[in-house]
Amino acid sequence: MAWRNLSGWLSRFSIAASVACCGVCSIAGLPKSADEFFGSSNVWNFHLVVSSSDWDAMMPERLPSGPRTFPRPGEFERPPMGAEGGRFGPPGGMLSGDDYTYVHAKVEIEGEAYSDIGLRYKGNSSFRSAIETFKRPFKLDFNHYKDGQKFLGMSQLNLNNNSMDTSQIREALAYGLFRKAGVPAPRTAFAKVWLTVPGRHERRFLGLYTVVEEVNKAFLKNCFQSAKGLLMKPTRANNMPYLGQEWSAYDKTYEPKTDARASDTRKFIAFLKLIHNAEPAEFQKQIDNYMETDEFLRFIAINAMLANLDSFLGTGHNFFLYLHPDSGKIFWIPWDLNHAFGGFPGGGSAERQMRLSIKRPWAGRNILLDRLFEDEARRKAYENFCKSFASEHFTTAKLHAEIDRLYAAIKDAIEEENRAGVRLPRGPMDRFESRGNGVEQLKTLAAMRAESVAAQLEGRDEGVIPEIQHGPRPFPPPQMR
């Protein structure tokens, strides 16, 4: 196994959780390590500096609805709304990292400058919802142009713009719950971000961001004591398709992020073949040879408790797979959690998502989950974990206390956004959150979800089996505050 035992795993992530509970960042200047940098209540200062030509070059050439011409950043007005939901068309299709161009930039973090880094936009809906604002999501690559340049041992960082989350704390809250469950998950911090484009913008305040650790070799080394092995980021991998024996057929759906040995790719293909083709008894006998099943069930349980349907439960993406080179087993790593607590538009109303079934939380056919949950012992182990975790970490009181702690860390930054008139990226689910303060609405949703989870585990309610809805849902205009 990659980990010596379960207690060692949980101990490791308990340490990370305790670091995250240290209160608002009080470290003077730049921290000395990634462990000091991350902490869910740390708030750091980032200043991005980009030339005018490079700032323009960052804009992608296409949108999901086909080739479009964008207005240049900083030189647009609110788009005219039309039959397609606006100038940029309906939100169908997906943008990916391949659509974004890295440009040369400088970043100052707590006053320390890193020159000639790679900077690009990132995300899909988080970018599209922010297209008419300056608060767009960014990826920083410190050694994209300068070999070996790192920030506290890390080559990349993600500045997530809290898109479609008026509380601005969903991701920090959700990632923390995964780590408390012993699931390997990225660490987070917060950042106040400024932008300078010489001749156009001088230290323009972009707003509050969530800094999310990149899942790459440094992450693997920190979590699994090895940077080797096969790392993948599946895209629309609904039902984990088996695509035959040629590894080249898997590039588009499973998106390998590392070079892998032929033995690793053969093992992964054999895993997919097992879940699709094996007889029931053979599947139950062999599946533990291919993945860390207990860890996977915890991964599913936390996604279910978070009512996080833009995930393996619903859309078939927003997770990483890691096949460890020593154990030969697959681990599941969560990603992109801004739709946690019922924020995914395709899952129906937020109120409906708060009643998501705990015992059957996936939409449609999911052959891996269908087959695993046919085994009574695995289903019982899953439900026992849900009961234990819910009573210890997923009560209304515990969730509200954590939300209050996170809000205390970012309250000043939110007030600074208000004073600066930052336009917040918004999405279709804001119909619920627009009724009041985003943090208070998240507390309402958390209480609804905690009560539903408890009622289901006690047999007082059956919950709702999810159905994923498709089709255009125009984004509302950005919110002025």
Contact 156, 142 (CB under 8 A): yes
Q: What is the dihedral of CA 73, 75, 80, 85, to 10 degrees?
A: 0
Q: What is the pLDDT of residue 333?
A: 98
Q: What angle do CA 20, 180, 230 make, to 5 degrees?
A: 100
Q: Give the whole-angstrom CA distance, residue 309 versus residue 341.
A: 9
Q: Is beta strand 479-480 parallel, antiparallel or unpaired with respect to 423-424?
A: antiparallel
Report in angstroms the alpha-carbon separations of 325 from 227, 235, 251, 267.
Answer: 9, 23, 19, 10
CA–CA distance, 244 with 286 (Å, rounded to integer): 19
- The pLDDT of residue 469: 72
Q: Which of 37, 395, 374 is nearest to 189 (CA)?
A: 37
In the chain, the amino acid numbered 215 is V
- Token pair, residue 291, equals 């993945």
Closest CA to 172 of 319, 38, 4: 38
- Tokens 């096949």 — which residue? 323
Class of residue 380 by CB neighbours under 10 A (exposed 0-12, middle 13-18, buried 19+): exposed
Amino acid at residue number 116: D
Distance CA 197, CA 75 (A): 13
Distance (Å) of CA 425 to CA 11, 86, 160, 168: 37, 15, 11, 11
Q: In terms of Cα–Cα distance, which of 173, 175, 172 is closest to 210?
A: 172
**Nearest 5 degrees, angle CA 324-CA 36-CA 4?**
30
Residue 47, φ and ψ in degrees, nearest 5: -130, 115
Q: How many CA atoms lie within 13 A of 1 on its CB side?
A: 11
Distance between CA atoms of residues 438 and 235, nearest Å: 30
HSE, side-chain direction, 13 A CA sphere, residue 182: 19
Per-residue pLDDT of the chain (481 residues; tens, 9 = 90+): 343 333 343 433 333 333 333 334 434 578 999 999 999 999 999 999 999 999 999 988 765 444 333 333 333 323 322 222 233 333 445 666 678 899 999 999 999 999 999 999 998 888 888 888 999 999 999 999 999 999 999 999 999 999 989 999 999 999 999 999 999 999 999 999 999 999 999 999 999 999 999 999 999 999 999 999 999 999 889 899 999 999 999 999 999 999 989 999 999 999 999 999 999 999 999 999 999 999 999 999 999 999 999 999 999 999 999 999 999 999 999 999 999 999 998 899 999 999 999 999 999 999 999 999 999 999 999 999 999 999 999 999 999 999 999 999 999 999 999 999 998 877 555 555 444 578 999 999 999 999 999 999 999 999 999 988 754 444 444 454 4
- Could you tell me which of 94, 27, 40 has the C-alpha nearest to residue 63? 94
- For position 62, what pLDDT does the model report? 63
The two tokens of residue 461 are: 């309610």
- 106 neighbors 116 (Cβ within 8 angstroms): yes
Q: Exposure of 249 by Cβ count < 10 A (0-12 exposed, 13-18 middle, 19+ buried)?
A: middle
Cα distances (angstroms) measured from residue 114 to each of 76, 108, 149, 197, 214: 30, 6, 8, 16, 18
Other C-beta atoms closer than 10 Å to the C-beta of 447 total: 16
**Dist CA 187 CA 306 (whole Å):** 17
The one-letter code for the residue type at 148 is G
